[in-house]
Structure 1
Amino acid sequence: MPKDSLDDLNSRLKAFAQTRNWEQFHNPKNLTMAMIAECAELVEHFQWLTPEQSMNLTQEKHDEVTLEMADILIYLIRCAERLDIDLIGAVERKIAINEARYPVEKVFGDARRASEYED
């Protein structure tokens, strides 16, 4: 997602909250609590599915999952705005960290945690 798109979403979400006088409720604690609740709702859609079923959702289920993901992103963007975190920069930084922690020649085809690989 281009950074300007993320900035545009942030502006719309901030305006939405300000217009409704909800900024008072949009603190990092409340936003992260709301986000984890939405994450749990997303998990519910996949809870008893096989991996294959999770890759082949009905259109109705796909639409429901889409909206849950949107809720999660909304709360994440709002929380980042409140904490003055550049999400794109944070993701780029995290990718660089993961590339160093999980070099291809060491982890190819293996999904263990970094601490489980021998040095």
Structure 2
Amino acid sequence: MSDQTIFIVEDNPVIADLISWRLTEMGYHVAGTAEDSTQALIRIGEIHPALVLMDINLPGEMDGIDAASEIIEKFKIPIVYISSILDADIMERAKKTKPRGYIVKPFTDNQLRATIEMALQG
């Protein structure tokens, strides 16, 4: 079986905990969470997970798309966006990072599992 380690970047700690719990119940290993892009870049550089679930709307200097671009460039780790944002301009920016998926909140466990499985096969 391939590496199932996932890192979650989500500015809302309640949602991050919920996603973490759901993923753990599905059999994935959640390597950690971060609430902003700066924290995420440091932790991801230390952990090197197989996949990053990235919220787009993050506090700080970089939003999730900017952070994802840096993660992909520096660490070659695939990204799946998880966001409630469906704005066309944001979607166009997100597509330029070539994510492995985009999940719109709220989502079902089946949507989460299917997207992650496809992303990990990448």
> Which protein is richer in helix relative to its size?
1
TM-score above 0.5? no
TM value normalised by structure 1: 0.25
Larger Rg: 1
TM value normalised by structure 2: 0.24
Between 1 and 2, higher relative CO (CA 8 Å, sep ≥ 6) is seen in 1
